Amino acid sequence: MLCVWWDQCGVVYYELLKPGETVNTDRYRQQIINLNHALIEKRPEWARRHGKVILQHDNAPSHTAKLVKDTLKALNWEILSHPPYSPDLAPSDYHLFASMGHSLAEQRFATFEEVEKWLVEWFGSKEKKFYWDGIHNLPGRWAKCVESNGQYFE
């Protein structure tokens, strides 16, 4: 399982979970803390300007647990929620993972380390415009979703 957080400039933080690992409340809370540290390191201008994060995530149990909500509140992050199983409204689904899936179509990996290496290279191969487009397409996709009364449109 790949957990990835990205913005209009690129990947900020990711974790590739080993087979059998899952995301529970404690892990998600730690990922949020790690993401905050990565933001401070990789986006210093963010911290200097305003330090505001708008985090889009669904209502998965690990996302809505009190411990996670308390952590997000302490960080003063705003939550932009979206319905679960709504790939039309999740930039990672409609943009990042869709593109990644095309690149993975012919790939075969023998080890976990090969997967990690491939990810680093793939993330690094994307131009800033790739990430910018994925984030900035979201408002248009919201409008399309409203126009289609919440029905899938792709």
154, part of any domain: no
Lowest mean pLDDT among 22-31, 69-78, 138-147: 138-147
Q: What average pLDDT score do residues 41-64 get?
A: 82
132, part of any domain: yes
User: How many structural domains does the chain have?
Assistant: 1
Q: Range of 13's domain? A: 2-147
pLDDT of res. 60: 81
The string of pLDDT tens digits covering residues 3-52 is 999 999 999 999 999 999 999 999 999 999 999 999 999 998 877 777 78
Q: CB neighbours (10 Å) of residue 154?
A: 9
The string of pLDDT tens digits covering residues 83-137 is 666 666 676 777 788 899 999 998 999 999 999 999 999 999 999 999 999 888 8
Nearest to 59 by CA among 39, 18, 89, 94: 89
153, part of any domain: no
93, part of any domain: yes
Give CA–CA dist 35/29, Å, rounded.
10
pLDDT of res. 123: 95
CATH number for the domain spanning 74: value is 3.30.420.10
Q: What is the CA radius of gyration of the chain?
A: 16
139, part of any domain: yes
Matching residue, tokens 């290496």: 117
pLDDT of res. 17: 96
152, part of any domain: no
What's the whole-model pTM score? 0.83
Q: What average pLDDT score do residues 48-70 get?
A: 84
